[in-house]
Amino acid sequence: MQRIAGLMLRRFTRNTRGAVIVEFAFAFPVLVLMYLGGVYLSDRVSCSRKVTVATRSLVDLVSRSMSPTIIYNDPTSADAKSHMSASAVVLSPYKLDNATEQISLLRVCDATRAYVVWTQAQTQNVDGSVVTATIPSQTAGTLPRNLAQSTGNIVPIPRDMITSTMIPASPDGSNVCENLAPGTSTKTQVGTAGGWLFMGQITYDYMPFVSYLPIAGTTMTDTIYMVPRLY
Per-residue pLDDT reduced to its tens digit, 196-211: 999 999 999 998 876 6
Residue pLDDT, tens place only, 17-44: 666 677 777 777 888 778 777 888 888 8
pLDDT on residue 31: 80
pLDDT on residue 220: 95
Find out whether 117 and 72 touch, Cβ atoms under 8 Å. Answer: yes
Strands 131-134 and 218-226: unpaired
pLDDT on residue 33: 78
Scored b (16 or more CB within 10 A) or e, 59-93 reads bbbbbeebebeebbeebeebebeebbbbbbebbee
pLDDT on residue 17: 63
pLDDT on residue 81: 96
Residues of the chain with pLDDT under 50: none
pLDDT on residue 4: 63
